[in-house]
Copies of this chain bind each other. A is one copy, B any other.
Amino acid sequence: MRKVTFGGAPSLDGYFARKDDAVDWLMWSKEAATIMSDYWKTIDTIVMGRKTYEAGLKMSKGKDNLYSGMKTYVFSRTLKPHKQGNLEVVSGDAVQFMKRLKKADGKDICVMGGGDLARSLFDAGLIDEIGFNIHPVLLGSGIPLFHEMKRQINLELLECKRFQNGCVYVSYRVKPTKVRRSRK
C-alpha cells in the first residue's frame, strides 16, 4: 500500500492560507527545502481539493503544470472532469478514488492543502502520516488546516525539528484505532 501523507505549512493558529488564499507569510528556509527535497523523491502523486488547486493556479499565474513531474489529482464537484498532461480533475467520490489509488502501483502520495479533502480522508482512515512546518505567526483568520471530524485520530510523533527561522517541523504517524478497524 502506498503511504499517504497530509503535508502543509500552517500558522500556529491552524491556517494554511489567508482568506484570499495568500501565502505571503510563508518563510523560506534551507532546512525546510532539504526536508521537502528528500520527501519529493518518495512520492509521484499529489492529490488536492479544487480550492487548493485554484489557489495554486492563482499563485503561479495560471501556469498549469504546477507540480511538474508529479501525477496530480484535483477532486472537485464543480469542475468538469478532464485530463491535461499530468493533471487530472476527478469528479467522483474522493474516498473511493483514494482507496484505489493507495492500492495501485507507484510511489507514495501527498495530500496538499485543503482541510476539506483531508477531513474525508482522515475519517475514512486513508491518511498514514502528517508533516507540518508550523510557522511562528498567528494569522488571526484564513483557510483552516483542519475541519471538524467525526472521530479522534491518535498520532505518534516521528520527528520534531526546530528551524533557525523559528519554524517547527513536526511529523506524525497516524495510529490505527479501534473505531477505524470496526468500520472496515
Known contacts A148-B141, A149-B141: does B156 contact A166 (CB below 8 Å)?
A: yes
User: How many Å from the CB of A133 to the closest CB on chain B?
Assistant: 12
Q: This chain: how many copies in the complex? A: 2
Interface size in chain A (residues, C-beta < 8 A) = 33
Q: Are A146 and B14 in contact (CB under 8 A)?
A: yes
Q: Within residues 127 to 184 of chain A, which ones have a CB less than 8 A from any CB in chain B?
A: 130, 132, 134, 136-141, 145-146, 148-157, 160, 162, 166-168, 170, 172
Q: Are A136 and B12 in contact (CB under 8 A)?
A: no
Chain B, Cβ-Cβ closest to A169: B160
Q: Flag whether A16 is at the interface (Cβ < 8 A).
A: no
Q: Flag whether A122 is at the interface (Cβ < 8 A).
A: yes
Tell me, in angstroms, the Cα distance from A163 to B25 when the chains sit together: 29
User: How many Å from the CB of A137 to the closest CB on chain B?
Assistant: 6
Q: Flag whether A13 is at the interface (Cβ < 8 A).
A: yes
CB-CB nearest 6 A-B residue pairs? A140-B149, A157-B166, A138-B153, A136-B155, A160-B162, A13-B146
